[in-house]
Amino acid sequence: MIKRFREKKYIDAVQFQNFENIQEVISFVGIPVTAEFGANGVQLRIIRSPFNVVIVKIGEYVAKTEDGTLGVITAEDLAAKYDEVTS
């Protein structure tokens, strides 16, 4: 019999909303973050190592898994894949 399973995992996430909440993102990730100002607006670069940088655009979320792995997730993907357990 074929059975279907779904992954159960928790993530913590903070949304990069605008220049005013950069400090909240920095506190959340706990590693160096730089802000870039370009033609497409502001984006953050989270520097995990010299060759491992996460780029976050306004409106996207920085997500941290239970093991501390950082990633970026859009608001749409967050709503589709996860149920919020805190408000």
**pLDDT, tens only, 17-76:** 988 899 999 999 999 899 998 888 889 999 988 898 999 999 999 999 889 899 999 999
Q: pTM to 2 decimals?
A: 0.84
Q: Is residue 75 part of a domain?
A: yes
Domain that holds residue 27: 11-81
pLDDT band at 14 (very low <50, low <70, confident <90, very high): very high
For residue 64 the two structure tokens come to 């941290």
How far apart CA 44 and CA 57 sit, in angstroms, is 7
For residue 31 the two structure tokens come to: 């590693």
Is 4 a member of any domain?
no
Tell me whether residue 57 is in a domain. Answer: yes
Q: What total number of domains does the chain contain?
A: 1
